[in-house]
Amino acid sequence: MQRRNFLVGLGAAAIAKPLLNSTELTAKDKGDNIIKAPALKKGDTIGVIAPGSAVNSPDDYLLAEELADYLGLKIRYAKNVKSGSGYKTRSIAERVDDIHEMFSDKNIAGVFSLRGGYGSGQLLDYIAFGIIKKNPKVFLGYSDITALHIAINKITGLVTFHGPVMLSAFSELTAESLKKAIFSNKAIGTLANSNEKEPVRRHHHQRTIRSGKAKGRLIGGNLSLITSLMGTRYEINTRNKILFIEDVGEPPYRIDRMLTQLKTAGKLQKAAGILIGKCEDCKPGLSASTWDLSLGEVLDNIFADINVPVFYGLTFGHTKDQFTLPEGIMAEIDADAHTLSLIENACI
């Protein structure tokens, strides 16, 4: 039976056709023409999808359901999440079908990503973005889900939420930040790392790279995914935006390579301000034999001649403490105070 399901999945993938001629995919960047989803409320049903890697362990599903219980939400899995083809990777057709199903179902109030992993970028040419635009809902995830955030924001204007997946660790800060973002139609306000020490050093260090303040619409996500979209119709638009970027486990030379690509393409210079998230385990490692700069030195070199406010270290993305950032709303960065202020409501 498993082999038969796998073959069916392969067949579905084979007949899936990219929507390359769709007007949705040739639409100009929506800029300030954003749309917002209704804020979630206790008792709502959320749809769970896995746009990247599949989840197989029953214990992981218990973790997802534990989160839904904590948030006071009901949960429904898209039909291919638990029983699609493949083991770690469902077919493109199955994963796209799950996205369409969850956004088009009127009984689903929000769409949460079960995990990140790999593969969300494969879906972009197959998504009917008109379904998402006509059915605005809270959409949550990070890491590999960055590809969907950027494409959805660019094509539909929907405010989406760069925040924890359902299998994230959920510290108190992570949980509270998420609730404040998705259950309210008020502006979230100012985000800043805790100043707690243990006992001498702060838990989360921050550093000003370029001084100043700036305002703009918030856009960004995982650096690896952002660079993977360069040269495509989904390429990130940073003009007059507050760009936030983060990554994990990348040695400094790879961070340098990706930032150099964005800089050469003019993406860093066009931004109003830039926020770099705390990068866990971004150390030279084996690459030290050929590259001897630290992450901090890479950042100083890259931004030395870019005259916009930049600071490093706010906890979003691949960190235990994780702020939820709404993509598309107006925000203000203060690189000297190490704060990001979300000055516009993300939900209605």
Residue with tokens 């995990």: 115
Q: E strands, the chain, where?
A: 45-49, 74-77, 110-113, 138-141, 160-162, 189-191, 207-210, 213-222, 241-246, 273-277, 310-314, 325-327, 330-334, 339-342
Is 318 noted as a catalytic residue in this protein? yes
What are residue 82's DSSP bridge partners? none
User: Is there a contact between 40 and 182 (Cβ–Cβ < 8 Å)?
Assistant: yes
What are residue 190's DSSP bridge partners? 341
What the block records as the tokens of 321 is: 């403490």
User: In the 3-class helix/strand/coil scheme, how is 309-331 assigned residue by residue?
Assistant: CEEEEECCCCCCCCCCEEECCEE
CA 91, CA 80: separation in Å to the nearest integer? 9
Residue of 246, 250, 327, 332 with catalytic role: 246
CB-neighbour burial class of residue 76 (10 A; exposed 0-12, middle 13-18, buried 19+): middle
Is 149 noted as a catalytic residue in this protein? no
Residue of 53, 85, 120, 143 with catalytic role: 143
Is 83 noted as a catalytic residue in this protein? no
CA 101, CA 82: separation in Å to the nearest integer? 15
Cα 323–Cα 327–Cα 333 angle in degrees, nearest 5: 65
Residue of 318, 327, 332, 338 with catalytic role: 318
Enumerate the active-site residues.
143, 246, 318
